[in-house]
Amino acid sequence: MLNGLTEAIPWIEKYRPKTLKEVINQEAIVTALTNAIRTGNIPHMLFTGPPGVGKTATAHAFARDLYGERYIEDGHFLEINASDERGIDVIREKVKNFARTIPMAGPGFKILLLDESDMLTAEAQHAFRRVMEQFSTTCRFILAANYFNRIIEPIQSRCAVFRFKPIEEDGVRQMVERVARNEGLEVDEQVVKELYRISEGDLRKVLNLLQTASVYSKRITVDLLYRVAGLAAGIEARRMMELALSGNLTEARKLLWQALYVDGVSEREIVSSMYSELFYLSIPETEKAKLFSLLGEVDYRISQGATPEVQIMTVLSALHALSGKRS
């Protein structure tokens, strides 16, 4: 039963860090930015790293710490998303309108955040570099990019580069515990581990999955997590592989039949999930290598019209054979 979609604010906004001290898992960057505020030595900056690791949130937290709570309302800070704009001419005009005046209070310059700056073409980036040079006395620029190598060298060389790393498991746990306290959720330790694995260090994905799961239940289980993540095949694959490896091939086959013919999980989803789950099985690396090769053969045979149940059973049988070696 659904709990009701009563949450007015997306959790990715609700739990966005308000200050640099609240930024998770980017200690070196937080220290450097805090020192920049303390000394007043603030350069143009390039924040680079994968999605969901805090680049945009850190830029906002930095501006709030520098200018105060009304950093946007008082005209000190402007965010432009490069992927939303129609071209460099639109961006240039927005920058000019924003940066041409010096604020009466504060350090004497404004901050403009260009998010997804790696979406700009090389030509547009060269034009933006000239804008940076034109307004460098009245404005500091923070560029956020998922891919550092897509930013032209003339911009790279004009910026202090901060490389954001994927959020580690402890960082994911810290966020999950905070959300669970505030939202009244019951979250198992295994859910934290699965959130970390599924999200690959992307906190936006962690928060979105938690909020979606909470609509269904205040008790967040691995099964619920997988289902809201569209990874039901992962649950079935893990269970049948564990059954086969423990010596229970008959039950593993029953679960496979249930997944294919009752739950409607596609054979390609099961094979793909078995591939992912294989990394986490406690078996020798040499045996994993053989099973990876076998999964590749199975995937090919299924694509050529072979019976999915028969093909997947060859993998489960190979795992079952390993159960005797473990005992």
Res 7 pLDDT > 60: no
Q: What is the crossing angle of helices 189-199 and 169-183, to 10°?
A: 120
The tokens describing 40, both together, are: 């007043």
Q: Model confidence at 195, in pLDDT bands (50, 70, 90)?
A: very high
* β-sheet bridge partners, residue 142: 45, 113
Instruction: Decide if 18 contacts 57 (C-beta within 8 A).
Output: no
Q: List the domains of the chain with CATH numbers.
A: 26-163 (3.40.50.300), 176-228 (1.10.8.60), 232-326 (1.20.272.10)
Mean pLDDT across the stretch 264-293? 87
Between CA 206 and CA 53 the distance in angstroms is: 11
pLDDT for position 91: 79
User: Is the pLDDT reported for residue 127 higher than 70?
Assistant: yes
Q: What is the pLDDT of residue 45?
A: 98
- The pTM (predicted TM-score) of the whole model is 0.71
Angle at 64 between CA 48 and CA 112, to 5 degrees: 50
Torsional class of 108: left (φ above 0), alpha (ψ -120 to 50), beta (otherwise): left
pLDDT at 140 over 60: yes
Report DSSP state, residue 267.
H
Tokens standing for residue 200: 């690959």
Look at residue 35 and tell me whether its pLDDT is greater than 80. Answer: yes
H or E segment and range at residue 113: strand 110-115
Q: What is each CA distance from 212 to 73, 83, 202, in whole angstroms?
A: 32, 26, 16
Q: Report percent pLDDT > 90 for the chain.
A: 61
Q: How confident is the model at residue 90 (pLDDT cuts 50, 70, 90)?
A: confident
Residue 219 phi, psi dihedral angles, 5° rounding:
-100, 110
**With 90 as the cut, is the pLDDT of residue 315 above it?**
yes
